[in-house]
Amino acid sequence: MANATAAHDGRPARQVRAYVREDLTGRDGWTRLLSLVENDHREAMGERDTLRAQELALIGMNDTDRRTAAKALRVGRSAAQHAKAAQKLDDAALRRTAAAGMDLEQTAQLADVEHVRGAEHRLLRALKRDQDEGAGGRGHWDQELALLRAEQADTDARAQAEAELQAAGIPLLRQARYGHKDPSRPLAELTTGLGNPLGEDNHRGCPGHSARLDDEHRPVWHCADPAAYGHKVRPQPKKPRTENDEERAAERARILACNRAWKAAAGPRQEFVKRLVRGKTLPEEARVFAQQTLLDLPRFYGKWADRRSTATLAALLGAHDPAKETPSALAAHLPKARLANMLFAHVAAAFEDDLREPKKFDTGRMTQVYLWASPDPLQAAYLLLLETLGQADHGSYQLSEVEQQAVTAHRPHTTAA
């Protein structure tokens, strides 16, 4: 091939010495890997070339060779998929991630959330926090990634809601430009010309039928111009906007952000619990905590057991499909020495279900509470236990910012106000 190219270009043909590797016949993936190793020692090989070479090499191997190659490259068994995903980043981003020390999986995860505003900066900051602690964990990274994925899911949900309105032919109202008055009104504030209520059903035929999306991306039906289409505004006293209104709006925004962060934090937390449950030896602190909960039978634990909902427990025990696999069947495959692991999984599942929703009714205080603002002592003790175990495991798990906020008053060196 080289000589044919030389002849075409008018250059002299030469013979080049080569080794014939008969052991590589039919093993294209391994051949590409050896080529990658050789090229990796050359100065001109860029990050994108490396990712592409890893992907091609690992995809072309059988399972045995892939395991050997992944170990040689010090990457995970899913490295081929990670390499393919990471290539979605542009060259400048790939250079920054390599310089910061992101591994292949982290680079692929950044590519998944790169469209969230500030994602790269936030993940680089989380990576540096993990590196500065020097324990080799990625607890801060996991928490920031979970929050970015929650924000991306929120953006995707809004995009889906907007697409559904567009498909139904319903205009989505935007904020009026600066200096322009917005004539639209929610249907709840309007009546027909005869004073009858307006709703989606009897307003659908109006040319001004439109919508805005609320904080949870549900449509709030509007008329784009009630005066033009013969509707009346319900008589309501006009209240001047006050400082309290602005404070309430700011508090509403804070509640939405904290609720989203609380739900996002459940992902890294449960992944850490799974690792504890799958470990050969359960940390002593976890065993003692589970034993105490089982023996004391706190109220929430009994209510959880009465519901007989085992999906979370099955997930913590490693089920591929928690809705179909039973905890007892999963536990049957575990050795007797893992009894403490199973008991901890049982207790942790009760806590995880109890912490799932950020707002709940506290029967002890007989009021609605936000858990990120006021968890009960047992909930805080569970979170603090996981924090301690994560720090002991080389920082592999860290509490998220919203969880840190929740447990502040329950730390041993602090007292509630």
Query: To the nearest 5 percent, what fractions of the chain are helix, strand and coil?
Result: 60, 5, 35
d(CA 251, CA 257): 10
The pTM of the full predicted model, rounded to 2 decimals, is 0.75
Per-residue pLDDT band for 55 (boundaries 50, 70, 90) equals low
C-alpha torsion 353→356→358→359, nearest 10: -40
Per-residue pLDDT band for 61 (boundaries 50, 70, 90) equals low
Q: What six digits make up the tokens of 32?
A: 């590409």
Cβ(29)–Cβ(57) under 8 Å?
yes
d(CA 386, CA 372): 16
How many angstroms separate the Cα of 370 from the Cα of each of 116, 195, 358, 361, 374? Answer: 27, 41, 6, 9, 6
d(CA 1, CA 53): 21
For 367-391, how does the pLDDT look when each residue is reduced to its tens digit (9 = 90+)? Answer: 899 999 999 999 999 999 999 999 9
> In this structure, are strands 367-370 and 359-362 parallel, antiparallel, or unpaired?
antiparallel
Question: Within its chain, how far is the Cα of 318 from the centroid?
Answer: 19
Per-residue pLDDT band for 234 (boundaries 50, 70, 90) equals confident
Cβ(181)–Cβ(142) under 8 Å?
no
DSSP per position, 273-306: HHHHHHSSS--HHHHHHHHHHHHH--HHHHHHHH
Out of 38-47, 69-78, 101-110, least confident range: 38-47
**Of 212, 206, 254, 257, nearest to 229 (Cα)?**
206
For 275-287, how does the pLDDT look when each residue is reduced to its tens digit (9 = 90+)? Answer: 999 999 999 999 9
Per-residue pLDDT band for 21 (boundaries 50, 70, 90) equals confident
Could you tell me where the DSSP H helices lie in 204-338? Answer: 243-278, 284-296, 299-307, 311-316, 327-331
More confident residue, 337 or 355: 355
Q: What angle do CA 286, 382, 389 make, to 5 degrees?
A: 45
Residue 406, SS3 per DSSP: helix
The predicted pLDDT at position 58 comes to 64
CA count, 13 A, side-chain hemisphere, 114: 16
For 125-153, how does the pLDDT look when each residue is reduced to its tens digit (9 = 90+)? Answer: 999 999 999 888 999 999 999 999 999 99
For 203-229, how does the pLDDT look when each residue is reduced to its tens digit (9 = 90+)? Answer: 999 999 999 999 899 999 999 999 999
336: DSSP letter: G
Q: Is the pLDDT of residue 79 over 80?
A: no
Could you tell me where the DSSP H helices lie in 114-234? Answer: 119-133, 139-167, 200-203
For 145-189, how does the pLDDT look when each residue is reduced to its tens digit (9 = 90+)? Answer: 999 999 999 999 999 999 999 999 999 998 878 878 889 999 999
